[in-house]
Structure 1
Amino acid sequence: MVAVAGKEDTVMKRRKQSSFVHAENVEFLPTKVFEAKAPERTPHYKPAYLQFRLGEQNPDIHFTRYQSPSAFRKAGAFIPRSLKYMHIYNYRLSPYMGCTKRCIYCFELVNRNVGKNEVKVKTNTVKYVRKVLLTLNERKAVLVDGYDCEEIEKETKLLRSSLKVLLEFKMPVFVQTKSSLVLRDIDELERLSECAELTTVAFSLTSLEEEHARIFEPYTTPPEERIKAIQKLSSRGILTGIILMPILPFISDTDKTLERVFSEAASIGCSYVIPEPLRVTGVGPQRNNVFRVIKKYYPDLLPKYERLYPRDPYGPEFGTRPMSRTYLYGLFQRIRAQGRKYKMSTKFPMSKLARSARGAST
């Protein structure tokens, strides 16, 4: 027992010495080690998302060239449902797979056919468009996308060359884009609009607030430039519109924001403003991206987003609208009210398009 007690005394003595030595060392350490200095900010400090010019090229994108029949095909998931039912826009021209914009909410981020930061260039686009058109007995309009891949499109001009082929066959087109590069081909679009009344150009717009655009779509053309592009197209007699997509709940859906969009649309000659709320997947990278940004820049809205977009491992591949009928009903009611106020259609001008389609098919 004595031996055991002696061991305990020795252990306790060592612990005290150890703690004493540690305390003694701390006492003589320089005081500045323990100071928690706040990082100095210059008078021109800006948050990370404001430290670059909106619309800059994404430096991480790389391009892969290949040949694919998907350059011109039957329209798929991204065609508006109402137009599918009308059997007007049935084909899709897409010279590029993937997108350089990498918008936070975009489903291209989950495209399994392209690698991370990869855009595939379909080099056979023009030849394949001509080959398919020679076999068609109908003149349904073509959904055109790809202008958002500005850097590579300026080099290859696949879209411009394809538009010339579509013009030969008098095929009406529906161009959906966020890029002002479409103005480069305004002459071809003007000729198409003269011989094919269905031709229209719609710009996707999340918000007119540049701050929101920097956060959710940093590599896109600034909203003001898109508005100017619409105005130029409208002045040349081309049917134009705005696809208000996606509408961000509690961010870009306020009455003030919606009224500004409709007011701008009316002043620049738009024919329609089509609303589409934000879709979020139940699980996966698209959901993670959206919630990461909401948590970082809009933390107060995080609980609301979790209620509108509950986690669901078995949800649709392209996400769901907000899971609240009350929210959706109120949103569309306010949008229709703005449409009535500014005499702006919130649907595609279907009757006019349908008459044109019947005339083109005869």
Structure 2
Amino acid sequence: MSGRFEAEKRGVFNDGWTGPATAEQGAVQLKTQLYQELPKQVLTKNQSPDVPFDRSVNPYRGCEHGCVYCFARPSHTYMGLSAGLDFESKLFFKENAAEVLRADLSRKGYKVAPIAMGTNTDPYQPIEKQLGITRKILEVLLEVRHPVTIVTKSSLILRDLDLLQELARLNLVKVALSVTTLDRKLARTMEPRASSPQRRLDTIRQLAEKNIPVGALVAPVIPALNDHELENILQAIARAGATEAGYILLRLPLEVKDLFSEWLSVNFAERRTRILRRLYAMRGGRANDPRFGHRMKGKGIEADLMRQRFFNSARRVGVNMSEGHDLDCTQFIPPQNPSDRQLRLF
């Protein structure tokens, strides 16, 4: 799939010279390609009433996890790349993110509020093990005593337990694991390179044991595919130690609509029509409803029932549905520029 801004479109076509392609020949072998990005700013602001934060930092563009439903896929088309395989394999990393964040936080008049990580692509996707950009950002935030929230699908976050424990001791961090399904086979089909459901539950457990505030995000909920697991997922994350929970109905913006529909045709052909019909019904007859107040939860009878199921089950298992304690925004110590630190020597 080509980007929607491109003048030319690319596609696979069998011209008959080599005969029909076999399944083995048609298999795509993904090889991650990395591209350095040196932004001048890394704090992204938003005014959406649908999310509990107004600023975020994303160390990476694109994501190796390969989740077919990812709403961030269309952002790759702004780079002249596809929302499909390019999004999963052609990744941009912001090598200087920690240094630029330090500069952003040192700006005169900066007002503290929690910085969200993992809002677009996963800050703990596999390349983080090699590059360590997320860890460097956390080191800066700990140094200046700045609150942060993190959403991830990866057990790699346990690598940074030392930083997370110290941030938690100062009431400066909350973590949420995205748990989409408890079915290992379904997870591998939907999220081929993310941690398994059991690894995510184990990660919740280990974070909770270290007194790091941890919750879970049941996202996305897909009618006729994983919606029947809602109660079981909430019970599992509560047993693992999660104290907060939230959910998001599947969103299919722009290129994601066709990618997801094609994926259903290949993997769940017998359910494709039913899944899309129910989803469209909760989206006012469309694949995606971008309006504030509707895009996360949908509307209509089934959307209302889903909301009731979630809240009743969350109450029953004892998670407080994202209404936990607030992070401390009073400890912030503005970072000093290197030149300022040099002047202090005299």
- TM-score surpassing 0.5? yes
Higher helix share: 1
Aligned positions of 1:256-271 closer than 5 A: 257-271=229-243
Q: Is the 8 A contact 2:113 2:329 kept in 1?
A: no
Q: 1:148 to 1:220 in 2, by over 3 A?
A: farther
Q: Is the 8 A contact 2:184 2:196 kept in 1?
A: yes
1:82 to partner: Cα distance = 4.7
Q: Is the 8 A contact 2:45 2:55 kept in 1?
A: yes
Distance 1:122 1:346 in 2: 33
The one of 295, 307, 325 equivalent to 2:300 is 325
1:269 to partner: Cα distance = 1.2
3-state SS in 1 of match to 2:202: helix
Does residue 144 (structure 1) correspond to residue 117 (structure 2)? The answer is: yes
The one of 52, 66, 70 equivalent to 1:102 is 66
Aligned positions of 1:179-190 closer than 5 A: 179-190=154-165
Distance 1:227 1:200 in 2: 16
1:214 to partner: Cα distance = 1.5
- RMSD, matched Cα: 3.1
3-state SS in 1 of match to 2:270: helix
Distance 2:307 2:104 in 1: 39
* Aligned twin of 1:291: 261
Does residue 73 (structure 1) correspond to residue 38 (structure 2)? The answer is: no
The one of 12, 36, 59 equivalent to 2:30 is 59
3-state SS in 2 of match to 1:347: coil
Does residue 216 (structure 1) correspond to residue 190 (structure 2)? The answer is: yes
3-state SS in 1 of match to 2:137: helix
3-state SS in 2 of match to 1:181: helix
Q: Cα deviations across residues 293-327 of structure 1 (Å, max 9, x unaligned)?
A: 22333333323233234475996499956865111
* Aligned twin of 2:336: none
Distance 2:329 2:163 in 1: 23
Percentage of pairs with the same residue:
23
Q: Cα deviations across residues 251-295 of structure 1 (Å, max 9, x unaligned)?
A: 2111xx2232122122121111101111123xx431112112223
The one of 324, 327, 335 equivalent to 2:310 is 335
Distance 1:188 1:137 in 2: 24
3-state SS in 2 of match to 1:299: coil
* Aligned twin of 2:244: 272
Question: What residue identity is the alignment partner of 1:204?
Answer: S
Q: Is the 8 A contact 2:177 2:217 kept in 1?
A: yes
Q: Is the 8 A contact 1:110 1:285 kept in 2?
A: yes
* Aligned twin of 1:238: 212
Q: Is the 8 A contact 2:115 2:148 kept in 1?
A: yes
Distance 1:271 1:322 in 2: 21
- Of the structure 1 ranges 236-245 and 64-73, higher mean CA displacement relative to structure 2 is found in 64-73
3-state SS in 1 of match to 2:54: strand
Q: Is the 8 A contact 1:148 1:177 kept in 2?
A: yes
Q: Cα deviations across residues 208-260 of structure 1 (Å, max 9, x unaligned)?
A: 11111122111111111111111111111110010100011122111xx2232
* Aligned twin of 1:154: 129
* Aligned twin of 1:130: 102
Q: 1:305 to 1:324 in 2, by over 3 A?
A: farther
Q: Which 4+ stretches in 1 moved above 3 angstroms?
A: 146-151, 308-324, 356-362
Structure 1 unaligned runs (5+)? 1-46, 49-57, 84-88
1:358 to partner: Cα distance = 6.5
Rg (Cα) greater in structure? 1
Question: What residue identity is the alignment partner of 1:220?
Answer: A
Question: What residue identity is the alignment partner of 1:334?
Answer: R
Distance 1:336 1:317 in 2: 22
3-state SS in 2 of match to 1:107: coil
Structure 2 unaligned runs (5+)? 1-22, 334-346
Question: What residue identity is the alignment partner of 2:35?
Answer: T
TM-score when normalising by structure 1: 0.72
The one of 88, 113, 116 equivalent to 2:78 is 113
Q: Is the 8 A contact 1:199 1:238 kept in 2?
A: yes
Q: Is the 8 A contact 1:99 1:108 kept in 2?
A: no
* Aligned twin of 2:6: none
Distance 2:36 2:213 in 1: 33
Aligned residue pairs: how many? 293
Q: Cα deviations across residues 35-80 of structure 1 (Å, max 9, x unaligned)?
A: xxxxxxxxxxxx99xxxxxxxxx83321101201343332577xx7
3-state SS in 1 of match to 2:149: strand
- Higher normalized contact order (CA 8 Å, seq sep 6+, divided by chain length): 2
Question: What residue identity is the alignment partner of 1:202?
Answer: A
The one of 195, 201, 211 equivalent to 1:227 is 201
TM-score when normalising by structure 2: 0.75
Q: 1:265 to 1:317 in 2, by over 3 A?
A: same
Distance 1:268 1:309 in 2: 30
Q: 1:216 to 1:183 in 2, by over 3 A?
A: same
